[in-house]
Chains A and B, each alone.
Chain A
Amino acid sequence: MNAEPIRVRVTYAKHGNLRFIGHLDLQRLFERALRRTNLPLRYTQGFSPHLRLNLASALPLGFIGIAEQMDFWLDEQLPLEEISARLWAALPAELILKDLRFVSNQSPSLQASLLSSDYEVILPMEIDPLDLQGKLAALLARDTIPVQRRKKSVDLKSLILDCGISGIPAKPVMTISMKSTPLENGRPDELLTLLSMDPADCVITRTKLNFLEE
């Protein structure tokens, strides 16, 4: 076995019906897809070896992701084109491969270097965008925006980096940028709920993951 594993970074989109499968299911789906590629995959050492696979951030159920990221490792160097072709063949239609590249083993893990996430929300038809804009301004003007998570209270205010509504009046789209570090993770659905919307009525897309610059 090659001492130094080859780290491959995948950027992918998750959409269609597949947006309704959860994080753990997605992880298992990737594992099985990768096994179908018959690539020389790297496994963890130890008592119960697992495929080395690292998803940057759990995408909430129902969200579309258009630039999600994941790392996996190979035991041998292979041309990127070959890895790409085999992975394309193994993935279901609603997981789209957008980019594939090699990454140094020295660079930090995706989770550790993730800073924030950008979202786009297509609002329900019956929402008056101007009215919503007013509500949003009022909300953001507050010093704190406490929300309840299980038994814990979290201040949403400190998690929102940027938020606005564009495309008024014809095609209103809300853009949200929120912290997503292991310790502080903003959830756009919480913000939508505070604005009196049902997140299930919105189409929410995570458009970008922002990482610490190396």
Chain B
Amino acid sequence: MADFIDAFVIGEAEEVALELLGSFEECKRSKVSKQETLLKLSQIPGVYVPSLYDIIYAQGGSITRIIPAMQDVPPFVIKRIVPILPPHPTHLIVPNIETVHDRLSIEIMRGCTRGCRFCHAGIVNRPVRQRPVSEILQIIEDGLASTGYEEIGLLSLSSSDHTQILELTRAVYEKFHDRRIFVSLPSLRIASFSVELMDELRDLRPGGGFTLAPEAASPRMQAIINKPLDNTVIEETVRMIFEHGWLSLKLYYMIGLPGETLEDVQAIVDAGKRVLAIGRQIRGNRVRVHLSVGNFIPKPHTPFQWYPLNSMDELQTKLDLLKTGVYRTGIKLSYNIPETTLLEAWLSRGDRRLGRVIHRAWQLGAKFDAWGENDNMPFWRQAFTDCGLDPDFYAYRQRAVEETLPWDHIHTGVTKKHLLRELEFSQAGKTSPDCRQQCYACGILNTFGDKRPVSPLVYWGCP
């Protein structure tokens, strides 16, 4: 991105945005050069100025070292965090036409302690911090008054894990049940407790289905990704969902995960069929089951960052298996086109040289790439060729753990040592339970421990 972006804020921008603007303003006023301004900005903790780093490449194209191009430039950039979640915005722009997420969204918690190994958000948003119930109620009150919205969304990465979530849902019902609003509560864990939470909202629940995200169906894959799920717990939860009034259930899964076989993919179909059977047994033929299957991309900063992407053929074979599996079962299946995944993989796993590829592909006509009707892949392949780069090098290469990764100078606070240990655990089929019970020394407390508020009223998920 060095070709397009002068400076990034790494991590949470709430505080550093003001420091950045202040420093920029000062530079503007004293009329210093752009180069000097960038150097100045790079001195702000959390600000990454890509042009101030030199990348040394090895013969084969991999990176040997990433080094500061000038004195005073920090060797790596540590992300910024806000120790206490700052005041939530409540005076929002209300669109005049219907948009996606057309509701009052409230962040009730940041971060997640579950440690799913594929999950980028679960690593980069550490540590877990949450807002107290009283604050959330006030945000809802102020937000509704200023926007007139009829629906609110209580958002987080894993809402069932908010320590006061039951209290919150009860209080929300108590306070707002006569206001004619709907309250959506997504990102719930697969547990009967989640259904109980939704029950607390009673008639404030928006219409529509219940959504769960097992991500993997076979016990083996669940252990690999560290999202273990007891089959009886799933069945009990599903049973409860249908018994408590829902008619449609959406399940999120991924294919292309490391070590996955066709049996693991078949397990997704089998799980869908079991869920549908339970639903039909309870509510009859009106029950709808929707499998939404995404293609896994190994994401930077996660324990899976060294893995290659599944080949297009592998993904297609797995998708065909799913399609055949749900044929005439009444299960709805939605999935992503493998080639779109490939493009995403290049962009999320590439290094600085990809800037030229992006520019070239754009010149050749690659626009609106996410729009299914455009086949831009020829442009992208041509762009790689024109830039003398091999796309497979970025997508399909198993990266060595000794290798310097293109994002190694960006520090999330979680150490590479921790990611490697999680990778080894994954390969051994070992799970790491919720880190609120047991600290795995991921590095967050070492990096940000001194920022941890002393007040016991401020919740941090770390033990």
Binding site for B on A (CB under 8 A): 18, 21-22, 24-25, 28-29, 31-36, 38, 43, 48-49, 51, 90, 92
Contacts and interface: CB of A to CB of B under 8 A. Distances in A.
Given A24-B98, A25-B96, 16 more contacts: A18-B96, A21-B96, A21-B97, A22-B97, A25-B98, A29-B96, A31-B150, A32-B150, A35-B144, A35-B149, A36-B145, A36-B148, A38-B145, A49-B180, A51-B180, A90-B148
A32 B94 CA distance: 9
SS of A interface (majority): helix
A199 B121 CA distance: 50
Given A43-B180, A48-B207, A35 B150 contact: yes
B147 interface: yes
Contacts of A36: 145-148
B442 to A, nearest CB: 43
18 contacts: A24-B98, A25-B97, A25-B98, A28-B98, A31-B150, A32-B94, A32-B148, A32-B150, A33-B148, A34-B148, A36-B145, A36-B146, A36-B147, A38-B145, A48-B207, A49-B180, A51-B180, A92-B96
Contacts of A25: 96-98
Contact of B147 (A21, A32, A48): A32
Q: Residue among A29, A32, A51 with the most chain B CB within 10 A?
A: A32
A12 B147 CA distance: 21
B149 A32 contact: yes
A32 B104 CA distance: 12
Nearest to A48: B207
Contacts of B97: 21-22, 25
A168 to B, nearest CB: 37
Contacts of B147: 32, 36
A31 B207 contact: no
A35 B145 CA distance: 8
Indicate the size class of the contact surface on chain B: 10 to 19
A177 B180 CA distance: 41
Contacts of B96: 18, 21, 25, 29, 92
A131 B145 CA distance: 55
Interface in B95-144: 96-98, 144
A109 to B, nearest CB: 22
SS of B interface (majority): loop
A18 to B, nearest CB: 7
Contacts of A32: 94, 147-150
Nearest to B97: A25
A42 to B, nearest CB: 11
Contacts of A43: 180
A118 to B, nearest CB: 26
Nearest to A18: B96
Contacts of A90: 148
B134 to A, nearest CB: 22
Interface in B181-217: 207
B148 A31 contact: yes
A204 B144 CA distance: 36
Contacts of B149: 32, 35
A92 B93 CA distance: 11
A22 B96 CA distance: 10
Nearest to A22: B97
Contacts of A51: 180
A74 to B, nearest CB: 14
Nearest to A95: B96
A128 B446 CA distance: 79
Q: Which 9 A-B pairs have the closest CB atoms?
A: A32-B148, A35-B148, A36-B148, A25-B97, A21-B96, A49-B180, A21-B97, A29-B96, A43-B180
A43 B145 CA distance: 18
Contacts of B148: 31-36, 90
B414 to A, nearest CB: 41
A28 B148 CA distance: 10
Contacts of A29: 96
Interface in B159-182: 180
A31 B96 CA distance: 11
Interface string B64-102: 000000000000000000000000000000101110000
A36 B98 CA distance: 18
A28 B95 CA distance: 10
Interface string B309-339: 0000000000000000000000000000000
A31 B180 CA distance: 12
A189 B94 CA distance: 31
